Structure 1
Amino acid sequence: MAPYGLHEVLGEAGRGPNALRSLHPTLVAAETGAYETGSGVRVTPQQGLEDSTADIVVVCDIHLEPGLSPEGRWSEEIAWVHRHIAADVLVCSACSGAVLLAEAGLLDGADAASHWIMADLFRDRYPNVKFRPERILCDSGRAGRLITTGGASSWQDLALYLIGRFCGAEEAARIARLFLLGDRAYGQLPFASMTRPRQHDNAAIADVQTWLADHYASSNPVTAMVARSGLAERTFKRQFKAATGYAPVDYVQAMRIEEAKQMLETEPMAIEEIAVAVGYEDPTFFRKLFRRRVGITPAQYRQRNRLRTLGE
């Protein structure tokens, strides 16, 4: 869990012989009484918001039920963060904590990382935020004083970043060795799934989506989609993007890559055969597209998922 993990790791920083300084983490919440997180873990804050100031603020992951809006939530926490922003304090978020920063209006016009599963929320509620699902750690503005990080375990990357920045690279390396914190150089895209298309009531587009689920590997699928819809091509593309959040070609590519990922995880087929099976006659193009969308090559994806399945 991020609050306790960060507290333990940051609390150790500074004890090395060549550390530039030490850090003194404190768990802060709107109320000081113990409470249970969404996963049932009991947390006891050390200070309340009104009683605390900080040189570094870290907003940890937040619990938001699927389909519920963040509107009107966390008003006290947002006000507290704004006070620290006004004092030019370094403000960071771990995982879904970026939602609170977005709700506070701090990420508009900036790059931002969060858990990839938040892509729908950022797309629909925070369209001015440049959501970066491929990033583990992201400089989100204020001249390096607003940092956001990706998935649930990205608090580890944030901890090492903060230790390296304030305590020195040697101390960060010592902490990494002590806690066995690793570098995920490929980012988090290899773990991400296709972003869920928007819910909509456009019957022509819904019919095309249903058809495509069984025909994504066909040649020239976008042309066939336009014909099936009965719409002019320009009108179709505009309505498809408005309804699903995807351009038609991006939607096809996303479906093909998701199927390829499933095959790489479960089938012994050669990568060239998988490329053809999902609709790409040119395996070189398939490899380039896969790497662009997933962050690693098909061979690397197969290897890491095979190792993970075996528990190695």
Structure 2
Amino acid sequence: MASYGLHEVLGEAGRGPNASHSLRPTLVAAKTDAYEAGDRLRVTPQRGLDGRTADIVIICDIHLDPGMSPEGRWQEEIGWVRQHIEADALVCSACSGAVLLAEAGLLDGAEAASHWIMADLFRDRYPAVKFRSERILCDSGRAGRLITTGGASSWQDLALYLIGRFCGAEEAARIARLFVIGDRREGQLPFAAMARPRQHGNAAIADVQTWLADNYASPNPVTAMVVRSGMAERTFKRQFKAATGYAPVDYVQAMRIEEAKQMLETEPTAIEDIAVAVGYEDPTFFRKLFRRHVGVTPAQYRQRNRLRTLGD
């Protein structure tokens, strides 16, 4: 759990011989009563949301069930965070904690990282936020005093960033060695799945989505989708984007890449043949597109995920 991990790692910072400062983490919550977190661990806050301010605030991961709206939630916590922003504190979030910052309106117009699974929520509820699903850590504005991180274990990267920033690079390196953490240069993309398209009531778009599920590898699928819809091309593209959240070509590419990932994980098929199977005659173009979407090459993705599957 991020709160315990951060508390332990940050609490160790400053004990090295070359550390310039030390950190004193404190677990803070709206109520100081012990409670059970989403993973059923017992959490006992050390302090309430009183008038005292901290130099650094970290909002840890937030539990949101599928379909649960953040509307009207965390009002007391948002007010407390705003007080710290106004007092020029460094405010950070780990994983889904960025949702609280977005709900507070603090990320509008800025880049922000969060767990990739939150992409739908940010797209639909916080369109003013430039959501970066591939990033592990984002400088989200206010002259470097608003930091967001993505992924369930991104608290580790945040901890090392804070230790390096306040205690020095040598101390951050010592902590990384001590806890065996760090080096996530490829970001979250290798772990991300295609974002779930919006639910919608557009029957014509739903029909082409159903058709595409079996025909994504066909030549010129977007042209075929336009013809099948019976709409003018510009009208179709506008309605498709409004209904699904994707431009038609991006939707096709995302479906093809997801199928390629499944094949790489489960089949020994050559990468060139996988490219053809999902609709790309040019394997070089496929490799470039795959890397742009996933963050690693098809060969690297296969090596990682095949090894993990065989080891299970």
The AA in structure 2 aligned to 1:141 is: G
The AA in structure 2 aligned to 1:62 is: I
Write the deviation string for residues 189-227 of structure 1: whole angstroms up to 9, x where unpaired: 000000000000000000000000000000000010001
Q: Which runs of 4+ in 1 moved over 6 A?
A: none
Distance 1:311 1:50 in 2: 49
Inter-CA distance 310–51: structure 2 relative to 1 (3 Å threshold): farther
- So what's the TM-score if we normalise by structure 1? 0.99
Q: Equivalent residue for 1:267?
A: 267
Q: Which moved more, 1:34-43 or 1:276-285?
A: 34-43
SS of aligned partner of 1:66: coil
Note the 1:199-218 alignment, pairs <5 A: 199-218=199-218
Distance 1:311 1:96 in 2: 29
Structure 1 residue 305, shift from structure 2 partner: 1.0
Q: Equivalent residue for 1:295?
A: 295
Q: Equivalent residue for 2:248?
A: 248
Q: Equivalent residue for 1:76?
A: 76
Distance 1:142 1:307 in 2: 42
Distance 1:185 1:300 in 2: 14
Q: Which moved more, 1:35-44 or 1:84-93?
A: 35-44
The AA in structure 2 aligned to 1:184 is: R
Asked whether the 8 Å contact 1:28–1:52 carries over to 2, the reply is no
SS of aligned partner of 1:49: coil
Asked whether the 8 Å contact 2:208–2:225 carries over to 1, the reply is yes
Distance 1:155 1:309 in 2: 26
Distance 2:183 2:288 in 1: 24
User: What 5-or-longer segments of structure 2 have no aligned partner?
Assistant: none
Percent identity between the two aligned chains:
86
SS of aligned partner of 1:144: coil
Q: Equivalent residue for 2:223?
A: 223
Distance 1:138 1:51 in 2: 28
Structure 1 residue 306, shift from structure 2 partner: 2.0
The AA in structure 1 aligned to 2:43 is: V
Q: Equivalent residue for 2:17?
A: 17
Q: Equivalent residue for 1:121?
A: 121
SS of aligned partner of 2:95: coil
Distance 1:168 1:303 in 2: 36
Structure 1 residue 51, shift from structure 2 partner: 5.0
Write the deviation string for residues 281-303 of structure 1: whole angstroms up to 9, x where unpaired: 00011001001111111111111
Structure 1 residue 38, shift from structure 2 partner: 1.6
Q: Does 1:163 align with 2:163?
A: yes
Q: Which moved more, 1:88-97 or 1:175-184?
A: 175-184
The AA in structure 1 aligned to 2:247 is: A
Write the deviation string for residues 70-103 of structure 1: whole angstroms up to 9, x where unpaired: 0100000000000000001000000000000000
Query: Pairwise CA RMSD of aligned residues?
Result: 0.9
Distance 1:62 1:269 in 2: 40
Structure 1 residue 129, shift from structure 2 partner: 0.1
Write the deviation string for residues 227-274 of structure 1: whole angstroms up to 9, x where unpaired: 111111111000000000000000000000000000000110110000
- So what's the TM-score if we normalise by structure 2? 0.99
Distance 1:196 1:119 in 2: 9
Inter-CA distance 120–82: structure 2 relative to 1 (3 Å threshold): same
Distance 2:252 2:135 in 1: 23
Structure 1 residue 311, shift from structure 2 partner: 4.2
The AA in structure 2 aligned to 1:98 is: A
SS of aligned partner of 1:281: coil
Q: Equivalent residue for 2:130?
A: 130
Distance 2:88 2:74 in 1: 21
The AA in structure 2 aligned to 1:304 is: R
Distance 1:307 1:179 in 2: 24
Distance 1:310 1:267 in 2: 12
Distance 1:45 1:307 in 2: 40
- Count of residue pairs the alignment pairs up: 312
User: What 5-or-longer segments of structure 1 have no aligned partner?
Assistant: none
The AA in structure 2 aligned to 1:129 is: V
